[in-house]
Structure 1
């Protein structure tokens, strides 16, 4: 089968601010795989999935917020995609049969992949989302993590520096990961085992992203979020909640007791309050009889 491989590079803007974006559509047809659909299509922008279709659902499903908004405003586009992909599904199924015939095989597992291109979301791809930066630490002996999230595009630079100089030791950079909303996140660890806390003020985390000014966050212990803080922050509300429940239970118990006691008093028979002395007077005990002997 003739394979078509395409890579679309979109150039937006002018001059030095131009940014390259890649878009791929992967078509996969298979035979002999019981746990995998016969046909799957996946659309990806800059390596992040934004559309999915398979032969089980037979529907194209947007996987990014911007794609969902676009198809909601242009429903004809999604319907056209559905028709095209359903047609491609039948074509690929026939191609699998052709491959098996040419290789003189009636069984076994076969797979065919095809890459093509399509273009949506120019306004979204040109945007710049400012990151939110946090300092995190699991325990006092753990590295301090500079966590940046919610930024776009994914071409970000995050690093630690001391006294204005970028650090290459004591640093463990992480990879840029996608968020569910189409933005990205990244973390960079700083090992401070050899640095006394009085020197922490010499450190700062710097985030650089195209289109915005550098974001610098000083290594201030007051800014660090830790697991112990989260746990202690939950302790007080939990204790207050338990005390409120106990107090409410006590009040309900007292009210029920008073209500039951009042009801017992109203239904008590008249005269049932006689003393034991009166009872004894009305029913005198028999006198003891002298013993006789024969």
Structure 2
């Protein structure tokens, strides 16, 4: 689903007033220890809740909890779809998708993303829907004609008995947009806020790339680049993904390879963070004293370690007892994972009559 993710990310970066509602569904078969169905809901890239076929539901944000407390019928609808309708629908869809690939069993994953985007300045609404199968894009819905487009040759032979009709078009462009506007209005204190990040320069070893890390920003629509003499660099740089933090903000990083750069030229480089709706960029100059490193800390503790050893030997000699224990250092936990689980949402046909 890489193509889909890049497409949606591009759309959000290109418009600072674009809101989105996305239902992700992931259905699995033949894979142990995984629920047969997992559904997540995002509003403006913020995960607000999830549910699965084991009848577990989790609301992730206080604003989501308060919304569903005031609108219990919407919560009951999600429960009905997630616990009763979608597990059977997606099981049948998985079987339909396996046939064109000449598969009769084994472990497989069917993914879907569905929802809408709304420009609150122009009022334009666009519905979208796309399927993925075993990690590859498979089918996409044309938002203008509401016909399915095959993204792989095998998809041409999939029996589309659930072809979208006029009712489904209305659901995607009107019902979803109504829900989205309600979510944005209710959660505007959270969804419409702006938080700027802290930006740090990190380096693991003297020969490692220098990583520019921006963390704690919101909304997700942002960019982070390295520049040389004011011009954005495309060579010798490695862009990381935008990842969620546990507090609802985001982080991202971009690495710069300095292997061919002389120390005298370091001052020609800077890292620039640009945020949607914020005029001023955050510019961080590439200066040696700004870089946080692991290897410098390691060097600085050598004299302390030697002093401790001398003191320990003195005590041991006086007491006539030798005690020596080795303790293996435990690596610190890694940064949060962008487990953007590409889960997806309901087949439009399952929604007919329930809007």
Name the TM-score, length of structure 1 as normaliser: 0.60
1:136 aligned counterpart, secondary structure:
strand
Pairs within 5 Å for 1:10-159: 18-27=16-25, 35-47=33-45, 49-56=47-54, 58-63=55-60, 68-74=61-67, 76-77=69-70, 80-88=73-81, 89-92=83-86, 115=114, 117=176, 118-119=179-180, 120=183, 121-159=187-225
Counterpart of 1:175?
241
2:267 aligned counterpart, secondary structure:
helix
Structure 1 residue 207 corresponds to structure 2 residue 273:
yes
> Number of matched residues?
228
> Against the structure 1 CA distance between its residues 238 and 82, is the aligned structure 2 distance closer, same or farther, given a 3 Å change threshold?
farther
| Residues 195 and 216 in structure 2, CA contact (< 8 A), matched pair in contact too | yes
List alignment gaps of at least 5 residues for structure 1: 1-15, 254-294
Counterpart of 2:291?
224
> Against the structure 1 CA distance between its residues 24 and 242, is the aligned structure 2 distance closer, same or farther, given a 3 Å change threshold?
farther
Counterpart of 1:266?
none
Taking only aligned residues, the RMSD between alpha carbons, in angstroms, comes to 4.2
- Could you tell me how far apart the structure 1 residues matched to 2:189 and 2:40 are? 22
| Residues 163 and 203 in structure 1, CA contact (< 8 A), matched pair in contact too | yes
- Could you tell me how far apart the structure 2 residues matched to 1:99 and 1:138 are? 47
| Residues 53 and 87 in structure 2, CA contact (< 8 A), matched pair in contact too | no
2:49 aligned counterpart, secondary structure:
strand
Counterpart of 1:185?
251
Using the TM superposition, give the Cα deviation of residue 225 of structure 1 relative to its aligned residue in structure 2, in angstroms: 0.9
- Could you tell me how far apart the structure 1 residues matched to 2:59 and 2:223 are? 29
Structure of greater Rg: 1
Using the TM superposition, give the Cα deviation of residue 17 of structure 1 relative to its aligned residue in structure 2, in angstroms: 7.9
Moved more, 146-155 or 43-52: 43-52
Structure number with the bigger relative contact order (C-alpha 8 A, sep ≥ 6) is 2
- Cα-to-partner distance string for 1:12-71 (whole Å, 9 max, x where unaligned): xxxx98521221124567777664435432112345533111232x342123xxxx2214
| Residues 96 and 112 in structure 1, CA contact (< 8 A), matched pair in contact too | no
Pairs within 5 Å for 1:159-170: 159-170=225-236
- Cα-to-partner distance string for 1:199-219 (whole Å, 9 max, x where unaligned): 212222121213151111111
- Could you tell me how far apart the structure 1 residues matched to 2:224 and 2:46 are? 21
1:205 aligned counterpart, secondary structure:
strand
- Could you tell me how far apart the structure 2 residues matched to 1:243 and 1:50 are? 56
- Cα-to-partner distance string for 1:222-256 (whole Å, 9 max, x where unaligned): 111111134346667878999999999999x8xxx
List alignment gaps of at least 5 residues for structure 2: 1-13, 97-103, 116-175, 320-355
| Residues 29 and 96 in structure 1, CA contact (< 8 A), matched pair in contact too | yes
Using the TM superposition, give the Cα deviation of residue 85 of structure 1 relative to its aligned residue in structure 2, in angstroms: 3.1
